[in-house]
Amino acid sequence: PEKYEVLVRRYQERLQRFALGMVGDRDAAADLVQESLVKAYTSLYACRNPSRFGSWVHQIVRNACRDFLKNVRRAHEPLEDHPGLVSAIPGPAAELDRGEARRTLRGALAALPDEHREAFLLKHLEGYSYPEIAEMVRASVSAVKMRVHRSREMLRSKLESRAGRGSDVTIAPARSSSQ
């Protein structure tokens, strides 16, 4: 139980942000993370590389989110409270309040294919490097880079169409995206 508490304290917040971004429902995200942490704790023997425990537990949450989305098949509302991802929506959309800008971003993110949304969230919300993401999602680094790039392009297009033609939408990472 003490080791489980350490596990929860260390990973829960980050995993819940990711799960919320993937499934769009706070309660479901909290449940999925809790179930995943219990699974990780009871399956510690299955973690082949203890130095990569964070990536391993993330994969458990990722799989739980994917299973949830397959079973539920409902509209997603990712990223409740992460205004830092959209740095500017000038033009007609400049008059939007922060809440409306967030709703617009949530809708645009929800419309992304799961693989693209996941790569975007891991890179720009969680700050993982491309090699770390590649390991988590079991894809090549170049495939991850392409998913993130396409995600940015799709988001820019969706946000521009919602903000009005001719708007200059900037998708800003929450952390450095140089890796």
C-alpha separations of 61 from 93, 102, 108 in Å: 35, 24, 23
How long a stretch of residues is the chain?
179
Q: Are 76 and 29 in contact (CB under 8 A)?
A: no
CA distance 78 to 96: 19
pLDDT of residue 178: 46
Q: pLDDT tens-digit profile of 114-168? A: 889 989 988 888 888 899 889 888 889 999 999 999 999 988 888 887 766 555 5
The residues that bridge with 126 in the sheet, in sequence order, are none
3 state DSSP class of 1:
coil
Q: Are 174 and 82 in contact (CB under 8 A)?
A: yes
DSSP code per residue over 113-152: -HHHHHHHIIIIIS---HHHHHHHHT--HHHHHHHHHHHH
pLDDT of residue 29: 92
C-alpha separations of 95 from 82, 85, 102, 163, 171 in Å: 19, 18, 13, 10, 18
Query: Does residue 91 register a pLDDT over 70?
Result: no
**Ordered domains of the chain (ranges, CATH):** 2-72 (1.10.1740.10), 83-171 (1.10.10.10)
Q: What is the largest CA-CA distance in the chain?
A: 56
pTM surpassing 0.85?
A: no
Q: pLDDT tens-digit profile of 1-41? A: 677 788 788 888 999 999 988 888 889 999 999 999 889 88
Average pLDDT over residues 85-111: 63
CA distance 22 to 132: 18
